[in-house]
Structure 1
Amino acid sequence: MTTLRGWRYAALIGGLVASIGLTIYPIIIHPMMNPEKYKKIQAHTRANINQEDIQPGNMKVWTDPFDRKKPDSK
C-alpha cells in the first residue's frame, strides 16, 4: 500500500471534509438557517390537536420553569 504525500493527502482530507459538510448541510444547517418552512409545516400538522387532551398521565402541559412571577404592584 502506498502512502499519500503532498497534494494527494490534502485532496483526501479535503474530500472527506467536503463529503461530511455536504451530508450535514441539508440535515442540520439548512433547517437552522431557514426555520419558517418548518414552522409552517408544524402549525399545519398541529392545527386540530388539543395538547391537553393528548397529554399522557393527566400531566399538565409544559410551562416555562424559569418564568418569573411579576410582583403585585400596590
Structure 2
Amino acid sequence: MTMLIGWRYKLFVGSIVGVIGLALYPIVVHPMLNTEHYKKIQERNRQGIRQEDIQPGNMKVWSDPFEKKH
C-alpha cells in the first residue's frame, strides 16, 4: 500500500472531516439554528397533555431556571 504524502494526505484527512461534518449537520447544527420549528412540533405533539397529571411522584414540574421572574 502506498503512503499518502503531501496534498494527497491533506485531501484524505479533509474528506474524512468533511464527511463527519455533513453527517453531524442535520443532527446537531440544524436544530440549534431553527429552534422555532422544533418548538412548534413539540407543542403539536404535547397538545391536550397536562404535565402536572403525568409528573411522577408529585414532583414539581420542571421550569426554566434562566427564565426571568415576573
- Residue in 2 aligned with 1:29? 29
Superposed displacement of residue 19, structure 1: 0.3
TM-score of the two chains, using structure 2 as the length reference: 0.85
Closer/same/farther in 2, CA of residues 8 and 59 from structure 1, 3 Å limit: same
Closer/same/farther in 2, CA of residues 31 and 9 from structure 1, 3 Å limit: same
Structure 1's unaligned 5+ residue stretches are: none
- Residue in 2 aligned with 1:44? 44
Count of residue correspondences: 70
TM-score of the two chains, using structure 1 as the length reference: 0.81
**Once superposed, which parts of structure 1, at least 4 consecutive aligned residues long, lie more than 6 Å away?**
66-70
Closer/same/farther in 2, CA of residues 14 and 32 from structure 1, 3 Å limit: same
Structure 2's unaligned 5+ residue stretches are: none
Q: Give the number of the structure whose residues are more often helix, by fraction.
A: 2
- How large is the RMSD of aligned CA atoms in angstroms? 2.1
- Residue in 2 aligned with 1:12? 12
